[in-house]
Amino acid sequence: MSFINSPVFNRVIVPLSFFSSAFGAILLIKESRGGKQCPSKERLDGKVVVVTGGSSGIGKETAKEVAKRGATVVLGCRHMGRCEKAAKEIRITAKSQHVVCRFLDLASLDSVTNFAKIINQELPHIDVLINNAGIMKPRPPKATPLTEDGFERQLETNYLGHFLLTNLLMDNLTNGEQPGRIINVTSAAYERGSLDLEDVEKSSLEGEEKLTELYYQSKLANVLFTDALSRKEELKNRITCNCLNPGVVHTNIDRYSTIPLYALSVYLYKPFQWFIMKTPLQGAQTSLYLSTEPTLSKTTGSYFDDCEFVSKTSEICDCELADKLWEASKIWTRLNERHTSVSHEPQERKS
Ligand SMILES: NC(=O)c1ccc[n+]([C@@H]2O[C@H](COP(=O)([O-])OP(=O)(O)OC[C@H]3O[C@@H](n4cnc5c(N)ncnc54)[C@H](OP(=O)(O)O)[C@@H]3O)[C@@H](O)[C@H]2O)c1
């Protein structure tokens, strides 16, 4: 009897090779769904990168990758325990001691102002600011619809806090030899967003629909912000500002989800999510590309996806609305007053 006809071959080898081929195919399909890898191999030795929301998901992986390339990294986070845990992981993986945590709650304009004051004192120069932190559809009891400042929570966390932060750190971003890079993490969902400056709470909507529309609105605001900032004449050649879609990424962004029978669905749905979504590291590639790619040192006002230029923001959004949002945000955040409280003498870049 030949080995091929033996019971061992039929009962063990055939099923084993079937399952390993199926497993290999699953991994290949998963990998092909992961999008492009950042093509830039540029190092960031001596550069300073600030990442908001670096305690989890895309932000943590972005911070890890820039730390691996030699950058000093500041993680701006609201839960210091989670932040320190992430920083420790990043220090070990990146073999770098230059990773620090600073308290930043983007849903509090005072907290953003304090964070900017501390950064001004500690790090007079910043090369890259990655406005990454975000929440999606927050609900009671975990989160109230309005922040302590009285703004709709998704708008303030995802957009308004970053508007204030970027403006308060502008001196630090513009005092280097190269233009400071400002990177706004938006989402393809911005396309479904609408913004009425007279009703940013979307008061006519209710429930799930309202929360979803408010998320879209906040992501549209990220694109409008990128557009308005990149057109500021006085900042031409001193900063670049671009935004990106990270893709559909398997992170904690759905932490507020209340899918019926959620506890059960977590177990049923998670393997499926793992299969169809990008990993956080794959989701971080476009942020990494915009942070490092030398040929992008002058590229501004652009929207990127999968490490590729997609379009100018002026072509995909309403520039007039972008300017109106900018002016409204200055008033909402009391920017001038806060800027005076944070501002300092122009600093020379530390060598
Ligand atoms: N995942 C996706 O499929 C996807 C798709 C398109 C766009 N995005 C965007 O990608 C960005 C990163 O999200 P992610 O998917 O990586 O989600 P994530 O794992 O939930 O990470 C979000 C980060 O933001 C932080 N954060 C939330 N509220 C904050 C606040 N008030 N102040 C400071 N930090 C705060 C979180 O900190 P805590 O841990 O303290 O909550 C966390 O570190 C978001 O802007 C999101 O809109 C994600």
Q: What is the pLDDT of residues 290-311, one digit of tens each?
A: 999 999 999 999 999 999 999 9
Q: Which strands sit side by side in the sheet containing 99-103, from one edge to the other?
A: 99-103, 72-77, 48-52, 128-131, 180-185, 239-245, 302-305, 308-312
Average pLDDT of every residue of the chain: 92
The answer to whether residue 177 is domain-embedded is yes
Give me ligand 1 centre to Cα 91, in Å: 21
* CATH number reported for the structural domain that contains residue 215 in this entry: 3.40.50.720
pLDDT (tens digit per residue) in 56-81: 999 999 999 999 999 999 999 999 99
Query: Whose CA is closest to 319, among 187, 231, 192?
Result: 231
Out of 1-5, 128-132, 293-297, least confident range: 1-5
In contact, 71 and 82? CB cutoff 8 Å: no
Q: Is residue 21 part of a domain?
A: no
CB 217 within 8 A of CB 193: yes
Q: Give the span between the Cα atoms of 171 and 339, in whole angstroms.
A: 10
Residue 322: band (very low, low, confident or very high) from pLDDT cuts 50, 70, 90: very high
Tokens of 53: 């929301």
Catalytic residue among 190, 215, 216, 303: 215
Q: Report the pLDDT value the prediction gives residue 95, as an integer from 0 to 100.
A: 97
Tell me: pLDDT of 120 over 70. yes
**Residue 156 counted as domain residue:** yes
Both tokens of residue 345?
């003498």
Q: How far apart are CA 304 and CA 326, in angstroms?
A: 22
Mutate to test the pocket of ligand 1, among 249, 274, 276, 288 (most ligand atoms within 8 A of CB): 249
Q: Which two tokens mark 231?
A: 């057109």
Ramachandran angles phi, psi of 226, nearest 5°: -60, -45
**In whole angstroms, how far apart are CA 238 and each of 74, 179, 329?**
21, 4, 22
Percent of the chain scored above 90 by pLDDT? 79
Domain annotation covers residue 348: no
- What total number of domains does the chain contain? 1
pLDDT of 346 over the 50 cut: no
Angle, CA 145 vertex, CA 168 and CA 156 arms, to 5°: 15
Domain that holds residue 271: 43-342
Cα→Cα distances 202→23, 182, 225, Å: 46, 29, 20
Lowest mean pLDDT among 8-12, 29-33, 186-190, 333-337: 29-33
> Could you tell me if 319 and 231 are in contact, meaning their C-beta atoms sit under 8 angstroms apart?
yes
Where residue 89 falls among pLDDT bands split at 50, 70, 90? very high
Instruction: Give the residue carrying structure tokens 């893709």.
Output: 247
239, part of any domain: yes
Report whether 197 contacts 325 (CB < 8 A): yes
Asked if the model's pLDDT at residue 344 lies above 60, the reply is no
| 4 in a structural domain | no
Q: Return the best residue to mutate from 73, 77, 153, 288 for the ligand 1 pocket (most ligand atoms within 8 A of CB).
A: 77
Residues 220-266 have pLDDT tens digits of 999 999 999 999 999 999 999 999 999 999 999 988 876 655 556 66
- Give the amino acid at 53: G
Residue nearest to atom 34 of ligand 1 (CA): 53
Choose the weakest-confidence range: 16-20, 51-55, 266-270: 266-270
pLDDT over 50 at 350, yes or no: no
Give CA–CA dist 102/224, Å, rounded. Answer: 28
Q: Is 256 one of the annotated active-site residues of the chain?
A: no
Is 31 within the bounds of a domain?
no
pLDDT > 60? residue 347: no
